[in-house]
Amino acid sequence: MNLDRRAVSSPTREIASWVANLSYADLPARTREVARCAILDTVGCGVYGFNTPWAKMLLAWARAGGSKAECTVWGEAAPGLRPADAALVNGTASHAFELDDYHNAKVHPGAVVVPAALAMAEKLDAKGERVVTAIAGGYEVMIRSSLALNPSAARLRGWHLTGVCGPFGAAAACASLLGLGVEQTAWALGLAGTQGAGLWAFNADGTMSKRLHAGKAAHSGVLAAELAALGFTGPTRIYEFDDGGVLKAFSDASDPAPLTQGLGDVYHLDATAIKPYSCCGSAHSYVDAALALRRKLGAPWNPDRRVRVGLGKVVDVQCGFVYAPGSALNAQMSLRYVVAAALMEGQVLPPQFSDEKLADPALTALAGRFELVHDPELDKLYPAHFAGWVAAEVSGDWVRVDVHDPSGSPASPIDAEGITEKFRGINPRLPVDAIADVTLNIERHSVHELLRLLAAEEKQLQTA
C-alpha cells in the first residue's frame, strides 16, 4: 500500500494548519496588545541599531546586490531593498545592541519576526489586523520551536536558539501574510527549518556574528515563505522526522509536545520580556540585584567590598567567563562586567558599553574580583525563571539580594508607556509619541505610515 504522506498527522502539519487558519478574531485581547508592543519595541531597537558598524556593513552588502527596491530600511525615506534583504538588515539592526525583547525559551523573537512581517506587509500593503495576526503567529511558532528542543539542553550543545528557531517564526508570519494554504505553509516551515543555524562561538572573542543571527533568521523565513508560494517544496515533517528532523538534530532532550500542546488556547508570546538593560537577558536579574544592593548600601560603591554572585550551570557557561576589555558584545554577555557596571555606574545602558567604559581599569578590576558561586537551586528554576542573586560583605556580614524574575519579565512587566519611554531614550530625535500612537493602534493605520514616521530624522536632514 502506498502511503499518502500528506494524510499523515504530524506536529509540522498541525502547526501549518494552525498558521494557515489563524485570524485576528482568534487572538485574545492580551495577545493583540503584546503583538503591538512587540512592533513598537522592535522598531525602536532597530532604528537605534543602525548606528552600529555591523548594521551599516550589512546594509552596504545588501545594497550591493542591486535587488528590486520594494521594502524600506527602518529610518530611511524610501524603499531600497527586496523583502528578504530588508528583513535581514532590519533584523540585524534590531538585535544590534542587546536591547530587543526575549522569551525564556532563550530566543529573541521580536528581532526576527517583526522585521520579516513588516517587510512582507510593506510589499503586500497588508492591513494592520493582518500584520498583528502574522506577528502573533510568528512569535508563537518560534517560541514553541525552542521549547520543543529543550532550551537549556540545546544551548549547552552550543546552539544560539534565535538563529535555529527564528526562521520558523519568520516563515510562519510571512506565510500568514501571503495567505498560504496548509500544504504551502508546511513547505515554508520545512524550508525555514532547513536553514536554521546559529552558533555560540561568538563568545570566544565577542564578534559580530551574534547580531547576524536574528537578521539571517528573518531573511531565511521570508525566503522560505516566498519560495513556498512559488511551489518550491520543503519537508513537511521538518520537526519530527527521525533522519534530519530539527528535534533530533539539535537536541538530545527534545520533546515534540510543546509544539502543539494548547495550540490556539495558550499563547506563549504573552510571556515575552522587554529589556530595560542593554545586555544578555539571562543577566537581567543580576543587574536588578546589583542595583538593589547599590541602593541599599549606598553610592558611590565601595570597590573593596567582597561580592558573590550565585548562578546556575547554563548561565555560568554562557555569561560567567573571565572579563577582559574587548568588544561591546563581549561586555554585554559578561555577567561580571554588567554587575560591575550596575554597582559602580548605577545603570547598564548603551553608555556603559562605550570603548572608554569597556577599558575602564576600575570596572575591569571590580569585575575580576567577584566570586561566582554555583547554586543548584538556580539550576532548578532556569530557564522558566531567569533568577539570580548578588551578595556583598559589610562589616563581616553578607547582604544578599535575590531576584526570581527580572524587570521587564511578565512577573515585573514593562507596559506600552514604558516601551515608549525606552524608545524615546534611545531615539530622542524621532517623533516617538506619533510613532507609538500609530504602532499601538496599527489596526487603524498602515505599515507605510509607520515607516514614514521612522524616517522623520532623515527627512529633516534632507531639508536642512
How many percent of the chain have pLDDT more than 70? 96
Q: How confident is the model at residue 18 (pLDDT cuts 50, 70, 90)?
A: very high
Per-residue pLDDT tens for 368-417?
999 999 999 999 999 999 999 999 999 999 999 999 999 999 999 999 99
Q: Which pLDDT score, from 0 to 100, does residue 460 have?
A: 60
Q: At what angle do helices 432-439 and 416-426 cross, to 10 degrees?
A: 140
pLDDT at position 3:
35
Q: What is the pLDDT of residue 21?
A: 97
Percentage of residues of the chain with pLDDT beyond 90: 92
Q: What domains does the chain contain, in order, with CATH numbers?
A: 7-271 (1.10.4100.10), 281-403 (3.30.1330.120)
Contact 82, 66 (CB under 8 A): no
Q: Is the pLDDT of residue 2 over 70?
A: no
Cell numbers linked to 212? 547576524
133 HSE (CA, 13 A, CB side): 21
User: Mean pLDDT highest for which of 49-53, 132-136, 457-461?
Assistant: 132-136
Lowest-confidence pick of 67-71, 164-168, 235-239, 241-245: 67-71
Mean of per-residue pLDDT scores for the chain: 95
Could you give the CA distance from residue 175 to residue 451 in angstroms, rounded to a whole number? 22
Dist. CA 197–CA 420, nearest whole Å: 32
pLDDT score for 431:
97
pTM (two decimals): 0.94
